[in-house]
Amino acid sequence: MTKPPLTLHLAAPRGFCAGVDRAIKIVEMALEKWGAPVYVRHEIVHNKFVVDGLRAKGAIFVEDLEDCPDDRPVIFSAHGVPKAVPAEAAKREMVYVDATCPLVSKVHIEAQRHSDNGLQMIMIGHAGHPETVGTMGQLPEGEVLLVETVEDVDGVEVRDPERLAFVTQTTLSVDDTADIVAALKRRFPAIIGPHKEDICYATTNRQEAVKAMAPDCDALLVVGAPNSSNSRRLVEVGARAGCRYAQLVQRAGDIDWRALEGIRSVGITAGASAPEVLIDEVIEAFRARYDVTLNPVETVVENVEFKVPRVLRMPVTG
């Protein structure tokens, strides 16, 4: 039986970013250096396949520092943690390694600097997301106010409209954030923004690649986890850019083939914490059903690399 023809538009860049790459490497190097088990506070990155792979090597994932013994190393996830967490680890004399993405750390430093200058912070982000919790936890209670939507801007109550600054979660939709920033500037003309965009290069690049290929796609599949903010934003960006069917899938087994009946072109991308092996799996699933033509859509070449913390590069002493 002849397979129907299908063009797969493959976004580039896609998948792992430098911060995710570094975080995974940190867990692997910690296991090599100290042996298993190594504890990780929260999922190191939001991807079940990655987390399960590290768990198989001896990583134990917990949600709270209280669940970690004092005598084993603990790693803080790429999303960042409130200041109270490393302070507690130091108090307990634990060995800890901070795998916070350097671009998230940049936002933390920014928030602290503004606070030191007497400014109250407004954070654009998603309530309850680990990165938002971590950034808001850099400053005392009440010093960071959260807004999620343009509507939230109208209701936010500030201490002094002349003494404000804002930061953003690094994994948001570039377009949505621009609307919220515009609303903040309308309501608080004196508000100070970041020197450089807080939304990370990888989030921006992946969204731009989706926008570039969306007009040529009948459908878009984003490989990523449901709790991955940047993956969910890619689905929204694709839908907004004209893909009548845009869907998040964790693995090839999640593809709804009935929804794709009669299509001739599909865009494929992946969130920043999805490994290439899962994208390959999705491509192979299409090859089994269609006569596939691959069309790479490259909008930018990424060559960012972040060093792992020094403690992992030093020999074990004692």
Residues marked as catalytic: 131
60: its two tokens? 């134990």
DSSP element (H, E) containing 233: helix 229-240
Q: How far from 178 is each of 63, 130, 163, 166, 278, CA to CA, in Å? A: 32, 22, 21, 12, 32
For the chain, the straight-line distance linking the first and the last C-alpha, in angstroms and rounded, comes to 67
Give the DSSP per-residue string, 270-306: E-TT--HHHHHHHHHHHHHHSEEEEEEEE--------
DSSP letter assigned to residue 226:
T
Angle at 131 between CA 51 and CA 126, to 5 degrees: 115
DSSP letter assigned to residue 193:
-
145 near 115, Cβ under 8 Å?
Answer: no
